[in-house]
Amino acid sequence: MTLTLEATARPMTRKAEALRKEGRVPAVVYGPKTENIPLSVDARAFQKVWKEAGETTVIGVSVDDKTIDVLVQEVAVHPVSGDPMHADFYAVDKTKKVEVNIPLSFEGVAPAVKDLGGTLVKVLHEITVSGLPGNLPNEVVVDTVLLKELDSVITVKDVVLPEGVVAAMPEDDVVVSVSVQEEEPEETTEEVDLESIEVEQKGKKEEGEGEEKGE
């Protein structure tokens, strides 16, 4: 089932700030075969759909009695509140493959961490894939249970992807690994031999007195 979002055509004369005060998010739809279409969407409705779809699930944007299949390409958010300020929708053809970055979700407990005291190192937080828009998942799960030894790694080729979706990056790139915490050498404090210092200082003092007498 495709998520849908109602939109309204946005005249270029309407200022973005005025729309935001009305509880709407200024947006634009564009694509290789779609002219730029300025529009606006209800802020609450957009946040709900965006949270569910992310940037990899096709959304049907309804505007002017037609529905355009899009992916959320980019969202500008307020630096303080985190509220969406502007959204870019990329019009897609469901029959043609697209290349996108999918967030990675790490699950399970690595035996190399639990039993051998290693440290989990997440090298990648997203993976670039290629596939038809309808086959793209919201996230890709990486099972860290595969990390059984201290030198274990999970690479791109080990990541399980949905049917019809393939990785679009080097298969040997490391996704997650286990590192060994090196023990810091203990700082050694040399004991100060006070007696030798006193003898040395006494010797220097006597030597100085001898030079004075010899003058």
Instruction: Check whether 194 has a pLDDT greater than 90.
Output: no
What is the average pLDDT across 62-89?
93
CATH topology of domain 99-179: RNA Polymerase Alpha Subunit; Chain A, domain 2 (2.170.120)
- Residue 33: band (very low, low, confident or very high) from pLDDT cuts 50, 70, 90: confident
What is the average pLDDT across 79-89?
94
Instruction: Check whether 183 has a pLDDT greater than 60.
Output: no
What separation in angstroms does the CA of 62 have from each of 2, 22, 29, 67, 70? 12, 20, 11, 4, 10
Residue 64 confidence (pLDDT): 86
What confidence tens digit (pLDDT) does each residue in 87-119 have? 999 999 989 999 999 999 999 999 999 999 999
Instruction: Check whether 208 has a pLDDT greater than 80.
Output: no
Across 44-53, 113-122, 144-153, 175-184, least confident range:
175-184
What is the average pLDDT across 11-18?
87
Whether the CB-CB separation of 88 and 73 falls below 8 Å is answered with yes
- Residue 184: band (very low, low, confident or very high) from pLDDT cuts 50, 70, 90: low
Q: What is the mean pLDDT of the chain?
A: 87
Across 125-129, 175-179, 198-202, least confident range:
198-202
What is the average pLDDT across 193-205?
57
Instruction: Check whether 79 has a pLDDT greater than 80.
Output: yes
- Residue 192: band (very low, low, confident or very high) from pLDDT cuts 50, 70, 90: low
**Spatial CB neighbours of 32, under 8 Å, sequence gap ≥ 6:** 91
> Considering the entire predicted model, what is its pTM?
0.71
Whether the CB-CB separation of 140 and 156 falls below 8 Å is answered with no
Domains 3-92 and 99-179 share a fold: no
Q: In CATH, which superfamily holds the domain spanning 3-92?
A: Ribosomal Protein L25; Chain P (2.40.240.10)
What confidence tens digit (pLDDT) does each residue in 122-149 have? 999 999 999 999 899 989 999 999 999 9
Residue ranges of domains in the chain: 3-92, 99-179
